[in-house]
């Protein structure tokens, strides 16, 4: 069971609700507070489409430390 919270914000006139949701989802994913699936759902995208959004926002899909990357590559 997932707990949900409703948040009401007054957005600047140059920012749409969809843009704000997407930016929030990107930041939550970037900081590790949401999984890829959770962030994609929040932004209203499929996982694949959200990965493209991450790329456009210069957020890596995989965020390995050097040690984790060496382990993943078997080095």
pLDDT tops 80 at residue 6: yes
Report pTM.
0.78
- Give the pair of three-digit tokens for residue 42: 């929040």
Q: How many domains does the chain have?
A: 1
Q: Rounded to an integer, what distance in angstroms lies between the CA atom of residue 29 and that of residue 35?
A: 6
Q: What is the DSSP letter of 61?
A: S
Residue 9 in any domain: the answer is: no
Residue 11 in any domain: the answer is: no
Residue 10 in any domain: the answer is: no
Residue 32 in any domain: the answer is: yes
Tell me the pLDDT of the chain averaged across its residues. Answer: 89
Residue 7 in any domain: the answer is: no
- Give the pair of three-digit tokens for residue 6: 């409703």
Residue 57 in any domain: the answer is: yes
Q: What's the pLDDT tens digit per position in 17-38?
A: 999 999 999 999 999 999 999 9
Domain hosting residue 40, numbered range: 17-73
């Amino acid at each position: 069971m997932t707990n949900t919270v409703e948040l009401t914000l007054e957005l600047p006139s140059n920012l749409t609700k969809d843009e704000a949701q997407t930016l929030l989802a990107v930041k939550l994913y970037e900081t590790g507070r949401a999984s890829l699936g959770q962030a994609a759902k929040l932004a209203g995208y499929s996982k694949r489409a959200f990965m493209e959004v991450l790329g456009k926002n210069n957020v890596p899909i995989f965020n390995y430390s050097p040690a984790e990357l060496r382990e993943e590559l078997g080095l």
